[in-house]
Each structure stands twice: as C-alpha cells, then as structure tokens.
Amino acid sequence: MTVQERYEAARKMYADVGVDTDAAIAKLKEIPVSLHCWQGDDVTGFDHDGPLTGGIQTTGNYPGKAKTPEQLMQDMEEAMSLMPGKKKLNLHASYAIFEKGEFADRDKLEPKHFRKWVDFAKKHHVGIDFNPTFFSHDKVKDGLTLTSPDEETRKFWIEHGKACIRISEYFAKETGVPCVMNIWIGDGYKDIPADRMGPRMRYKDSIEQIIAEPHDPKLVKPCVESKVFGIGVESYTAGSAEFTLTFAATHENVLPLMDNGHYHPTEVVSDKIPALLCYFPEIALHITRPVRWDSDHVVLFDDETKEMAKEIVRCDAIDRVHMALDYFDASINRISAWTVGFRSWQKALLSALCTPNAELKKLQDENRLTELMVMQEELKTFPFGDVWTKYCEECGVPADKNWFEEVERYEKEVLLNR
C-alpha cells in the first residue's frame, strides 16, 4: 500500500470515533516548539573556556561536537531539516557571538552580540526564546548568584538578567515573535543550611529588579523555573517549586515554567499542567526525560511525554503553553539526539490531536467509566503511525525509517572530520 492508501484507511478509523486527522495535521503545523541550541555543544557556549558548573552535568564524549558558532548553526540546520513542524530557537546567554578581539562579560551583553543568531532565525523564519546563563562563570561565588549574600556578586548577576531582558526584546522586535525569557539558577547548598528564608528573600528581590527593567510584556515573557536539587546542591535549592510558582502567581506578566525533570520522581508534570491552567493565562514548559531525576535524557515518545501533550490539547491550551525542549546528551550523535527529541514531542502532540477528547470527557462526566477505560485502551492500537507518516510527508521530511540515513551521512562527511 502507498502512504496515501494507508493514511486513507487510518483516517476512516479515526473518523469513526469522531477525529478529523486532516484537521489534526493542519493544527500541528501551526504549533511552535522551541529547539535548544545547547544540545549541539554540550552546554559549553562561546563566552568561556572552563568546565560546565552550577549543578548540571553533561556526560559522554561522542565525536563531532560543535566548537564554533558556524558549526553549531550548521548542525542545527541539519537537524531541523529532519524535523517536521514549526520551530523556534532557544538560546542561552553564554552563546553570545563576539567579533574578533571583542568580549563583553555577562553583565554587559548587548543585542549586537546576538545579531548572527537573529540572522539565523530570520533565515529560517523562526522566533527566538532566551535564557540568562547563571552558571559556568567565575563570578558564581560559593555556588551562588542571585541569592548571594555578597552584594557585589548579586549585583553582577542582576545586571546580567537586566541585559537579557533587553536582548529578549531585541529578539522579539527583530523576528516578530514574542520571546520567552526563562530565569533559572542552581543556587543552593550541598548540606543542611542554617538559613533557608534569607537566600529566597534575596532571590525574590533579585528577580524583581530584573523584571523591573523596562520591556513590553507583549514582546518579552519572563518565566521563573524551579528545581528540586542539583549536583552539589542536594540538600537545598533556593528556587524551589513553591517559591517560583508563588512568585509567578504574585507578579504580573511573569509565567511559571515547569521542567518535567525538576520534580520528585513520583510527581508528574502532566497533572500539574491543568492545575496551573486554572489560574495562569499562560505557562511554559521545558520538556525532557528524567530517567533519574534531572538527568536530561533525550525526549522519547513515552507515557509521560504523551500525557503532557494530551493535557495541553484536551485543555484547549495550545495557545497558552510555550513549549521548549531541554536536554543534553553527549553520549550519542548530537544531531540524532536533537531529531529524536523533537520528533517525539511532535508525535505526542499529533497523538493528542488524534484523540477523541470530547467523547472521552463525556464518558467521564456521565460516570461511564467502564466504557472510558475500554475506549482509552482501544485507541492505543489505532494506526497512528500512518497519520504520522502522512504528516512527515506533508512537511517534506523523511519518515522514521529513512531519516537516520541522512544522520549517518552527515556524521561521516562532517562530524568525523572536525
């Protein structure tokens, strides 16, 4: 059977349960997903030569790592050519690109240091999201940045955050797409602290100073991201879930950002999404795969990934949730890692769009729970793969069984020659 014949058969099956697969495909093409630049070079960036520090770690040494802005952009273009759907670009401040002989520390960064990224975004007709980089820097004093009791240290990092607000607005104006600017710090303590409130009050004041930097809230969307713990800060992190969620809830135009690797193993972000949507006009996600806590594995088409996508779709919140990938695996081909993760999230969204959510909700509301369970199980064996193949074809990218050949060619001709 041809792709079209298989799709026609699948379309009929889905139509029988009230799902329009043509509409699902068309809708998915409109949903932007932010692609993180740091998968391509193991979160190294271009503004320092030191190791990755600040409670995070990348493992592995697969050949072909990007070492220059040109190589990183080349690799991103290769990966993007294998991904269906609409994209955004997600940058960290440490990926500033300086002209020869030029350098600006993080508190002095300017829009001009990201001009080449804007050119890249315009070339590919995508927007840009942004992240201040509060790690891997010699001004991280005693492991602390925005919570530091040393006012000189804290001031440096506040100025960095303000600079990033200005850069974010530059991105939005240049690309015509609002910029989601995410604040995350790894500040905390390895062992039991004597003062838990003090660092959080300093953090609160620091974020308030950062977001007070003049900006258009329609263009710049500041977020605060929590974390349960990090390497070297196992006992206490200032930016806990309760802290960041309450901050977002009590400050106008600040979004909560949930990373599904930043919670206890028994918590699931899929359940948190509808809870937050009851109160927040918009929320943001960093999508990863936490094999062991925040291990930042490549996103797969697994159960929790599917559930997160289901909640976004069934809550009619596609336009209210800013979606971004966030993982970094150096143990495998980095182009493949990017591609697998992006395609997996696309699959999850398409699967959610191909779910008869209204009918399932009706069964629940009418307490027809036996039928609900039966229907949910029956849907698991529907020919979703044929709808996915059709979607890839319409987007002009290879289907699953073919795209890896291009990755192997690129590795042989480009990556292994670096």
Residue 60 pLDDT level (bands cut at 50, 70, 90): confident
Residues with active-site annotation: 184, 225, 227, 259, 262, 286, 294, 296, 326
Cβ contact 265:237 at 8 Å: no
39 vs 64: CA distance, rounded Å? 12
**CA distance from start to end of the chain:** 42
37 vs 67: CA distance, rounded Å? 12
205 assigned binding-site residue: no
Among 148, 157, 155, smallest CA distance to 200 is for 148
List, for residues 213-243, the tens digit of each pLDDT value.
999 999 999 999 999 988 888 999 999 999 9
41 assigned binding-site residue: no
239 vs 355: CA distance, rounded Å? 36
Residue 55 pLDDT level (bands cut at 50, 70, 90): low
Task: Please provide residue 174's backbone torsions phi and psi, each rounded to the nearest 5 degrees.
Answer: -75, -40
Among 289, 251, 238, smallest CA distance to 268 is for 289
**Is it the case that residue 56 has pLDDT exceeding 80?**
no
**Is it the case that residue 49 has pLDDT exceeding 80?**
no
pLDDT for 263: 92
Among 20, 26, 11, smallest CA distance to 358 is for 20
Structure tokens at 169: 């607005």
Residue 53 pLDDT level (bands cut at 50, 70, 90): confident
Name the residue ranges covered by the structural domains of the chain. Answer: 30-357
Q: What is the CA radius of gyration of the chain?
A: 22
Strand partners, 311: none
Residue 175 pLDDT level (bands cut at 50, 70, 90): very high
pLDDT for 231: 82
pLDDT for 217: 97
- What's the pTM? 0.96
**Is it the case that residue 70 has pLDDT exceeding 80?**
yes
Distances in Å between the Cα of 94 and the Cα atoms of 10, 166, 176 are 46, 15, 23
Consecutive H or E run containing 335 = helix 334-353
- Decide which of 3.40.140.10, 3.20.20.150, 3.40.367.20, 3.40.50.2000 is the CATH code for 30-357: 3.20.20.150
Task: Please provide residue 322's backbone torsions phi and psi, each rounded to the nearest 5 degrees.
Answer: -90, 115
296 assigned binding-site residue: yes
Structure tokens at 44: 């190294």
Sort 17 into a burial class: Cβ within 10 Å, 0-12 / 13-18 / 19+. Answer: middle
